[in-house]
Amino acid sequence: MSGAAKSEWSAKNPYYTNITENYILNGEGSKKETRHVVFALGDSGLDYKVGDALGVIPENPPHIVDELIEAQGWDKDSIVTTHNGERTLYEALKKDFEVHMASKKFVQSLAQKVVASGIKINVKMVSRSRGDAIWNASENEPLPPELKPSAPSDDPADKVEHLNTDEKAMEDYLWTRDYVDIMREFDAKYSPEEFFELAGRVKPRLYSIASSHDAHPGLVELTVGIVRFSYHGRNRGGLCTQFMADEIGNSDQKVGVFMSPTKSFVLPEDKDIDIIMVGPGTGIAPFRAFMEQRVFDGGNGRNWLFFGDQSSKTEFYYKD
Ligand SMILES: Cc1cc2nc3c(=O)[nH]c(=O)nc-3n(C[C@H](O)[C@H](O)[C@H](O)COP(=O)(O)OP(=O)(O)OC[C@H]3O[C@@H](n4cnc5c(N)ncnc54)[C@H](O)[C@@H]3O)c2cc1C
pLDDT band at 100, cuts 50/70/90?
Answer: very high
SS3 category, 258: strand
Distance CA 70, CA 227 (A): 25
For the cut 80, the answer to whether the pLDDT of residue 154 exceeds it is no
Query: Which residue's alpha carbon is at the smallest distance from atom 5 of ligand 1?
Result: 207
pLDDT band at 139, cuts 50/70/90?
Answer: low
> H/E element holding 37?
strand 34-40
Indicate which atom in ligand 1 lies nearest the CA of residue 58.
Answer: 25
Outline where DSSP puts E strands in 85-242: 85-88, 127-130, 133-136, 205-208, 219-225, 228-231, 234-237
Query: Which residue's alpha carbon is at the smallest distance from atom 22 of ligand 1?
Result: 238
- The domains of the chain, with CATH numbers, are 1-58+204-320 (2.40.30.10), 60-125+136-203 (1.20.990.10)
Q: What percent of the chain has pLDDT over 70?
A: 87
CA of 75 to the centre of ligand 1 (A): 32
Distance CA 197, CA 84 (A): 14
| pLDDT score, position 153 | 65
Query: Which residue's alpha carbon is at the smallest distance from atom 1 of ligand 1?
Result: 206
Residues 6+ apart with CB under 8 A from 63: none
> H/E element holding 24?
strand 19-24
SS3 category, 231: strand
Model confidence over 243-276: pLDDT tens digits?
999 998 766 789 999 999 999 999 999 999 999 9
pLDDT band at 121, cuts 50/70/90?
Answer: very low
Query: Which residue's alpha carbon is at the smallest distance from atom 24 of ligand 1?
Result: 238
Indicate which atom in ligand 1 lies nearest the CA of residue 207.
Answer: 5
Distance CA 60, CA 73 (A): 19
Pocket test for ligand 1, best of 205, 242, 287 (most atoms within 8 A of CB): 205
Indicate which atom in ligand 1 lies nearest the CA of residue 282.
Answer: 9
Residues 6+ apart with CB under 8 A from 157: 111, 114, 115, 118, 120
Distance CA 297, CA 271 (A): 7
Distance CA 70, CA 75 (A): 9
Indicate which atom in ligand 1 lies nearest the CA of residue 100.
Answer: 29
| pLDDT score, position 166 | 93
Distance CA 246, CA 26 (A): 16
Cβ atoms of 14 and 55 within 8 Å: the answer is yes
Cβ atoms of 24 and 34 within 8 Å: the answer is yes
Distance CA 219, CA 41 (A): 6
